[in-house]
Structure 1
Amino acid sequence: MSAHKKLKITYRQAACMYYAVEHTAENAQRCAEKLARDEDSILVYKSDPEDPFVMSKAKVNARPITYKKYLQDYPRAETPEASSDVGDKENKDLTEAQLVETLDTLFLIDDPGNDALYNSVSLSNSAVIKMLAPHLRDDLLDPKRFGQWCKIKDHLSRYQAEIQDMKNAGIEVLGYVRKSPSQGKNDNNRVKLLQQMVSRLQERSRVDKVYVSPCCTSSGPLPVRDMPRPTSILKKLHNVDGSCQDLLNYLKATPKDICLVALDFAGLSTDCHDIYQFVCDNTRIQKLVIDLIPSLSKVIIFDRQDIISKPEILEAFNCRQAPAKRSR
């Protein structure tokens, strides 16, 4: 799916790299057995599969996005038809991030140069659907819809590659979630929707931290949001790093350059003048990213220099016409 070539290496190939020996069947077996002696550790990598290292399984399980596992060496089927059962056991509860990772692992556009793992074949959408049917949502079993979904995910892969480039350049990626006040007083539903938005930021934008405004309007001034602190709701959320006030404090204290991500324009603010002042006051902000993937299949990135020199580009924020489902 991804237009970016992804190098795929098996665990035994990585084991030979780790011990700096030539990859042969004998060496691969010996290196894998040597690693297996420590039952509490596993060979993983971060961004470069050719740079393997040993990490405790507990840490890998705690940070599965940071520490990536290698593919195991399994016998390949001789034909696509023979391998049509990627998994007999039905599991339609995969997150979209997990499904994308599965597709990116099984089906590559470019030749990875690893005959131990891949055959070169031509597959239609229908053939791919047949192979993945136990794991696909019902709406993705239609070839046309599946093709459209793949286009969106291809854009997502490109976007995530750009996010990784930012991180490699030393930019920290922060997420911000906001939910408007509502007439109902059901905190459980509000927490559920906020948690879904937090998950979307983590899955799609690979954010390092997430800050939340549980109950504020889209036009509310950023400097005074979450005053007083919404402690009761924040305590019910997982994997969040505080409120908007905590975000403001972090922006003042951090020595790192920042990319701030929000889900649609109104997820940050609909007051373009307030956003301009927010960027001016917080000099660490180098980029603003607006995730419009669910609605428009795209992401918009604003660079600090462009915001300062051409503030009119922020007029895009003053465009909320209908409620947006940021939890998607």
Structure 2
Amino acid sequence: MLQHKLTIVHNPFKYLTYTHTKEISEMKQGGELCLTTSTQLQDLLNLVYLLHDPHNEEVYTEQRVTMDSILEFVRNNTKVFKDISPSAFNKWCMKKNLDFIQVENKRIRTAEGRVRVRNLYVAKQKYISKDLPMIDLIKKKTNVCLITLEFAGLSTNFADLSWFLQTYPQIKTVMVDTLPYTNDFKIFESKDLLANEGRMKQFLCRTGPYRRSKSTIFFWCTPIPL
């Protein structure tokens, strides 16, 4: 279909163009996370296993977790500690003072006998494999702009966003794209968001994100080095 360039620009969801440049991704794609250091693993475990309820049932579920199950997760999802013993892994977690270690162990009886468990909020696997490579990439940059499609695209809980921006100071700017729907977009400096709760509360949005089309995902976070 031949259309004027201005027509395509004003309705990008109706008129899709062919890719004319080769896409270069700095994030490794695939099922296994591309973590190679123990520091990366610390960050991963602190993101996957939370002490407190994040009030985000879409991403986290409350579970009784054993150290063996955490070690199994590490072996299945990363290249770190493939051959470490359970006792050595437990000592490493305590030495690094990982967040979940603060939760008291409780002994329960199972079909296999008595085991020690912790009540934790665990991230669902589909979010782990998708988000961690992006987070790892952000940590390698020094000046990142985070772009999201409208305010609900990042989080419906502004407290989560506040924690995220404090944890990753590499994110200097947040851009909210509502151009296709309101003919507008907003740019926020991260330091201003953290200092002004009123601005941060704009992300306290419970409405569903706008849909781009039935066949595409409408949520994304794109790190852009400025």
TM-score past 0.5 threshold: no
Q: TM bucket by the smaller chain? A: 0.3 to 0.5
Q: Which has the higher contact order (CA 8 A, sep 6+)?
A: 2
For the pair shown, the structure with the greater C-alpha radius of gyration is 1
**Superposition TM-score, scaled by structure 1 size:** 0.30
